[in-house]
Amino acid sequence: MARIENRAEISLQILDSMAGGKSMRQSCLNAGIGASTWLDWCAADRDLDERYARARLSLLDAMVDQIITLADSPVAVLDTGATDPGLVRQRQLQIDARRWILSKLAPRIYGDKLDVSVSDTRISISGALAAAQARLVDVIDVTPSHALTQVHSAQEVHSAYVYSASEDSPRETAPKPRRIMQDSYDDDR
């Protein structure tokens, strides 16, 4: 474990290592202290904590540089003259891992930009409402009147319904039209 007298020197070594592209844990390991000790030092010293935050931003910039270096470096060629697919896949994984870390640690800078605005003009609420109203049909109310509740046989029900729906019946007992939605599958029949 590092001694307290070397704290400033160890802190500088860790911050420089992080700015160079090493992770905080790897930098602490190289300096000979544990990551929890480093975090305790940062929590106790506001100035060191601010310098650590700047070093983390530098680490992100170093990761961007690492991505560019990995993408631009040539791939080894096999004896057959073809590129080594294993090495290509390894580089792709290294780049993807760094991109993922960047998108999570600094999403405003390195994250994917999602466009959530609606710019499609094909969708019209008024058009959908007009189409729904066009599917409405006039239907005659077929609920029996109060006089029909005493009828028992099917023949009596039929004759009572015909009587109550006829033109000879009083206006109060005449069926009133009402509108209901026509099922969309009726067109297929």
pLDDT tens-place string over residues 153-163:
555 555 545 44
Do the domain assignments include residue 162?
A: yes
Give the model's pLDDT for residue 53.
Answer: 93
Contact in structure between 103 and 111 (CB atoms under 8 Å): yes
Are residue 75 and residue 131 in the same domain, yes or no?
no
Residues 158 and 102 in one domain: no
Q: Do 14 and 27 touch, CB atoms closer than 8 A?
A: yes
Token pair listed for 108: 């405003």
Among the candidates 84, 110, 136, a domain finishes at 110
**Domain co-membership, 140 together with 64:** no
Q: Which structural domain range is residue 52 located in?
A: 4-110
Per-residue pLDDT reduced to its tens digit, 68-82: 999 999 888 888 888
CA 172/CA 47 separation, integer angstroms: 89
Those residues whose C-beta lies under 8 Å from the C-beta of residue 184, and which sit 6 or more positions away, are 135
**Of 37, 53, 42, residue with least CA distance to 1:** 37
Count of residues making up the chain: 189
Residue 92 belongs to some domain of the structure: yes
Which tens digit of pLDDT belongs to each residue from 54-73?
Answer: 999 999 999 999 999 999 99
Number of domains in the chain: 2
Task: With H, G, I as helix, E, B as strand and everything else as coil, classify residue 33.
Answer: coil
Q: Looking at 110, 139, 174, which one is the last position of a domain?
A: 110
